[in-house]
Amino acid sequence: MKMTPEKKYKNLLDSLKKMKRVVIAFSGGVDSTFLLKAATLSGLGEILAVTGQSESLPEQELSFTKEIAGSFNVKHKIIVTEELKDNNYAENPPDRCYYCKKELFTRLSDIASRENYLYVLDGTNADDIHDRRPGRQASVENNVKSPLLDAGLNKKEIRKISRDLGLPTWDKPATPCLSSRFPYGHKITAEGLLRVDRAEAFIREFGIKELRVRSHSNAARIEVHPEDFAKLTEDT
């Protein structure tokens, strides 16, 4: 018999409660926000949400993590990650995400060990294993647990339960890191990431919620939904 989303959610809460003390990799996206909320509702002992701050994280996303963690009344730590100093990452190969996650999860594992947390958790869900996810290998290497995946919860189910819980992220668009705006092989720099972040922040002022500014050497390609074209082209 196919398990219902409600049953999966109950199993998630039960598994989280047994973990007692956890560090949660918290990006402020749909999955990690849902996981953090579930952890607060599960009755487990202590939660530390940790956000990795680097040039590849949009400024508005960092502010959002602070807001959400505060509203959940959980301990929140922001750490500066330095993936750009690793040429394996900065050269922007197809497995770039592995080096980013390696930096993050190594740091989180160190925090967990130093502060006596029992587990490090991430927001990988059941859909993610069907996609190409180089960063997944880094989580395996660092013994990071993925409770949403273990519970069999997919993105659609996570969004539905998030809506039922009143989470503001239930319909939040995907927000991949800023490095994803550059073609593979195009070197990632702090200056380039800042340029993209500022460009996207400017376009959001037109009331556009989901967009990408793709950097191609001296040109930029703006991607928005067709229904938002007029917002960019109409006279003001």
- For residue 223, give the amino acid letter: E
- For residue 135, the model assigns a pLDDT of 86
The answer to whether residue 49 sits within a structural domain is yes
Q: Report the C-alpha gap between 183 and 141 in whole angstroms.
A: 27
- For residue 236, the model assigns a pLDDT of 54
Write down the pTM of the prediction. Answer: 0.93
- For residue 234, the model assigns a pLDDT of 75
Query: Same domain for 219 and 112?
Result: no
Query: Same domain for 189 and 131?
Result: no
The answer to whether residue 130 sits within a structural domain is yes
- For residue 131, the model assigns a pLDDT of 77
- For residue 127, give the amino acid letter: D
Number of domains in the chain: 2
Query: Same domain for 113 and 191?
Result: no
Query: Same domain for 41 and 105?
Result: yes
Chain segment 124-181, per-residue pLDDT in tens:
999 998 877 888 899 999 999 999 999 999 999 999 999 999 999 999 999 899 999 9
Residue 193: CA count within 13 A, CB half-sphere: 19
Report yes or no: 78 and 51 within 8 Å, Cβ to Cβ: yes
- For residue 109, the model assigns a pLDDT of 97
The answer to whether residue 169 sits within a structural domain is no
Domain boundary residue among 164, 190, 219?
Answer: 164
- For residue 217, the model assigns a pLDDT of 80
Report yes or no: 206 and 182 within 8 Å, Cβ to Cβ: no
Residues of the chain with pLDDT under 50: none
Chain segment 203-214, per-residue pLDDT in tens:
999 999 899 999
Bridge partners (DSSP) listed for residue 77? 50
Query: Same domain for 154 and 200?
Result: no
Query: Same domain for 196 and 91?
Result: no
Query: Same domain for 214 and 112?
Result: no
Range of the domain at 15: 5-164
Bridge partners (DSSP) listed for residue 213? 222
Report yes or no: 69 and 49 within 8 Å, Cβ to Cβ: yes
Query: Same domain for 44 and 81?
Result: yes
Query: Same domain for 69 and 183?
Result: no
Query: Same domain for 199 and 128?
Result: no
- List Cβ neighbours of 82 (8 Å cut-off, separation of 6 or more): 54, 103
